[in-house]
Amino acid sequence: MSAAGQAGFPEQGTGVDDLLAQVRAERSGDLDWRGGRAFSLVYNVDDPELERLQHEIAGIFLHENALNPFRYATLLRMEAELLAFARDLFGAGAAALSSGGTESIFLAVLTAREEAASRGVVDPELVCAATAHPAFAKACHYLGVELTRLPVDAGGRAVPELVAAAVSDRTALVVGSAPCYPFGVVDPIPELAAIAAEAGTLCHVDACLGGYLLPFWERLGRDVPPWDFRVEGVTSISADVHKYGYSYKGTSTILYRDRDTQQRQLFMYDDWPGGLYASMSAAGTRPGGPIAGAWATMVHLGAEGYLRLAGRVAQATDGFRAAIEQAGGLRITGEPVCSVFEFGADPADDDPVDVGAVADVMDERGWNLDRQQGGLHVMLSPGHDRVVDAFASDLADAVAEARSGRTGAGVGLAYGGVVEE
Ligand SMILES: Cc1ncc(COP(=O)(O)O)c(C=O)c1O
């Protein structure tokens, strides 16, 4: 009997070879991220040596648990070094590891809530732009913090005047994105941080997406607006190693300007018959594989490797942007800073192209562009530099088909999803 598609708990076991054959066969129809036509969920580094290293290291540390870091000395050293690397890259005073962007954001919101509580705030509030990642809404929902979301300007950036007007003595955290997911634009961080500092509250920069790319983008000589701890008033930053840090899933870093603020996310408990439970993040058991993978990826690539990969991402970005501009009738939203952006119909066009139809044709040709509310989302990895010409040619055809009267299925479809039985 097939292991796949069973509803009840499997009565009998399935042999390893059978099971692997089944899964391999099933997976052969899944989205092929190595082909360069997938975006955002997998960062295609297109580096076989790095992939070999990651597979090996994941296997070696598959079963280790960093719940008690002192039991696995190698993991402990790797985590400590990894955090030191992150502190050095971002000029942070303290750093901790988490399982992903959402957990890092939870920790930043928790820290802010605790800091506000120490100032007597009992009904804390978080102020951010509407482009902030849904993880902030989720964190506020879980942690009992009120969320104030503000409109953005025509370029998709937070508006300092609106933020200043919204901040009150209840504000626990002012949030900016570097960059935001939907448009890839960087909020005016110096202004937001100054507003937070003036109000005596914390300012978090969500660089989950761009954190490990922007420092190298800057070294390439590209324009990067100020966003990190060099900006006075920025108190914490989230940056995911499993995004442009190029490790496999399961690691993010949460960085603080100073160690005292970071201590607010520490949880200690000894009121039970077991030993002292101390933890810097939400998870209890922490899988060793992602920690080892993140460490090995950074050591293998080094700044030199990250710079080389940033160069490939930049080349892909230039190519995709040129293809969008040349297709006609399309416009990139706002002024994206790096390799993440949205494109949609040019509103100045007398007869705007149906972007849903463009998306349908692109889907038929095997591209998997996410459909946002106002257009299609592009997030480029190093491996996308191989598909620039194919993208340009398919996009030109897609626009031509949309222009010839085809109507599309629409935009604004799923970003995240729920799996039920
Ligand atoms: C800007 C930004 N923040 C936070 C997150 C959440 O990260 P994760 O999905 O790893 O929890 C994402 C994910 O894409 C993101 O783009």
Sign of the torsion formed by the C-alpha atoms of 205, 206, 211 and 214: negative
Say what the pLDDT of residue 5 is.
Answer: 64
Say what the pLDDT of residue 411 is.
Answer: 72
pLDDT, tens digit, 9 for 90 and up, residues 263-295: 999 999 999 999 999 999 999 999 999 999 999
Say if ligand 1 is within 6 A of residue 342 CB: no
Say what the pLDDT of residue 355 is.
Answer: 95
Tell me the mean pLDDT in the region 175-186. Answer: 98
**Distance, CA 50 to ligand 1 centroid (Å)?**
23
CB 402 within 8 A of CB 354: yes
pLDDT, tens digit, 9 for 90 and up, residues 201-232: 999 999 999 999 999 999 999 999 999 999 99
Atom 5 of ligand 1, residue of closest alpha carbon: 101
The yes-or-no verdict on residue 179 having pLDDT over 80 is yes
Task: Output the 3-class SS for 240-262.
Answer: ECCCCCCCCCCCEEEEECCHHHH
The tokens 């929902």 sit on which residue?
A: 141
What topology is assigned to 53-300 in CATH? Answer: Aspartate Aminotransferase; domain 2 (3.40.640)
**Distance, CA 239 to ligand 1 centroid (Å)?**
9
Atom 8 of ligand 1, residue of closest alpha carbon: 101
**Distance, CA 326 to ligand 1 centroid (Å)?**
31
Say if ligand 1 is within 6 A of residue 100 CB: yes
**Distance, CA 133 to ligand 1 centroid (Å)?**
7
Say if ligand 1 is within 6 A of residue 102 CB: yes
Burial class (CB in 10 A: 0-12, 13-18, 19+), 131: buried
Say if ligand 1 is within 6 A of residue 240 CB: yes
Q: Which atom of ligand 1 is nearest to the CA of 104?
A: 11
**Nearest-angstrom CA–CA distance, 392 and 364:** 15
Residue-range domain boundaries for the chain = 53-300, 302-401
Say if ligand 1 is within 6 A of residue 306 CB: no
The yes-or-no verdict on residue 4 having pLDDT over 60 is no
Decide if 53-300 and 302-401 have a common fold. no
Q: Which two tokens stand for residue 405?
A: 């009267």
Q: Which atom of ligand 1 is nearest to the CA of 132?
A: 1
pLDDT confidence band for 410 (50 / 70 / 90): confident
User: Which of 39, 208, 253 is the best mutation target for the ligand 1 pocket, counting ligand atoms within 8 Å of the beta carbon and taking the most?
Assistant: 208
- The mean pLDDT of the chain is 95
CB 346 within 8 A of CB 356: no
Say if ligand 1 is within 6 A of residue 177 CB: yes
**Distance, CA 287 to ligand 1 centroid (Å)?**
20
- Residue 218, Ramachandran bin (φ over 0: left; ψ between -120 and 50: alpha; else beta): alpha
CATH 3.40.50.1010 assigned to 302-401: no
Tell me the mean pLDDT in the region 6-30. Answer: 94
The yes-or-no verdict on residue 1 having pLDDT over 50 is no
pLDDT, tens digit, 9 for 90 and up, residues 58-92: 999 999 999 988 899 999 999 999 999 999 999 99
Q: Which two tokens stand for residue 38?
A: 């997938």
Say if ligand 1 is within 6 A of residue 402 CB: no
The yes-or-no verdict on residue 403 having pLDDT over 50 is yes
Say if ligand 1 is within 6 A of residue 209 CB: yes
